[in-house]
Amino acid sequence: MDLLNDTQVSEILLLGFSEDAELQPLVFGLFLSMYLITVFGNLLIILAVSSDSHLHTPMYFFLSNLSFVDICFTSTTIPKMLWNIQTQSKVITYEGCIIQMYFYILFVCLDDFLLTVMAYDRFVAICHPLHYMVIMSPRLCGLLVLVSWIMCVLHSLLHSLLVLRLSFCTDLEIPHFFCEFKQIVQSACSDTFVNDIVIYFAAVLLGGGPLFGILYSYSKIVSSLRGISAQGKYKAFSTCASHLSIVSLFYCTVLGVYFTPAATHSSHSSATASVMYTVVTPMLNPFIYSLRNKDIKRTLERLFGKKTINGPVFLR
């Protein structure tokens, strides 16, 4: 098909959640609050890990990387949505939509990979505690993060290039609050067979593969805990509870959006489900990890001067 003869759009309309003008201030305030909580909460995690030498371990290294990715993830979609509500506009340029879609895919993929790496870290810490520092060396930790970035950059670039080859009709409307790439592909006027094949193949390979790795890691953890005491089991599961909570929330919503046939759910429900893993999950990460983690709470208390210093006090 000669795409030069097709009409290419220059602007795309993001319909968002509701067209009711009375609800727009409520939506604006809600998403602005969640965005600020997400940014400041994850910044506190990064600050705590970087300022305390006791937290310079593989687990907190991956956690700080996850917090950085979550900040970038929400910053890809929410600021543009807030700007459109404030200016009472639903328009995003075609180039801006492609850029937003690229970074959205990139950070979703990074979230997925980092959660898998964190599961592997817990597996080594619980199943091979004596060799933990040897196996999870700084070089391996850096290599795992670097490989995750490289694979996700290439994965996002592939999807973006395949979308660029599509042609779109005029007055393109996306029933979403950001340029969700599955909605964009479904709105194309040209043949999307190649795009659909790549989407499902990448979902199985880059989505199912990490999920299998997480499940395998925790199956080994469970099997290794059979012969230890109840106190040891509680301590081991307490270190995994935060990670399991985020994994469950992330995968349940992502699988609901991308593996459910389009005929079984509306665009509104798809947008609502997307909020769970694009906004809610990154917002809850700092709370889940800090509230259940004494090391991070102690570091934050020391940073904000809420904990007194033990030891002798000399008065002049």
8 Å CB contact between 59 and 125:
yes
Q: Which residues contact 179 (CB under 8 A, 6 or more apart)?
A: 12, 14, 92, 97, 98, 100, 101, 104
Number of Cβ atoms within 10 Å of the Cβ of 258: 17
Strand 173-174, strand 91-93: pairing: unpaired
Span 20-67, pLDDT tens digits: 777 888 989 999 999 999 999 999 999 999 998 888 999 999 999 999
Q: Please determine, for residue 144, whether its predicted confidence score (pLDDT) is greater than 90.
A: yes
Mean pLDDT, rounded, of the chain = 84
Q: Please determine, for residue 312, whether its predicted confidence score (pLDDT) is greater than 50.
A: no
How far are the Cα atoms of 15, 81, 85, 212 from residue 20, in angstroms, in the given order? 11, 15, 11, 42
CATH class of 7-293: mainly alpha
* The pair of three-digit structure tokens given for residue 32, joined into one six-digit string: 């602005």
Q: Where are the domains of the chain?
A: 7-293
Q: What is the pLDDT of residue 262?
A: 53
**Mean pLDDT value across residues 274-278:** 83
Span 235-273, pLDDT tens digits: 777 778 888 888 888 888 777 666 665 544 455 667 777
Span 68-114, pLDDT tens digits: 999 999 999 999 999 998 988 889 998 999 999 999 999 999 999 99
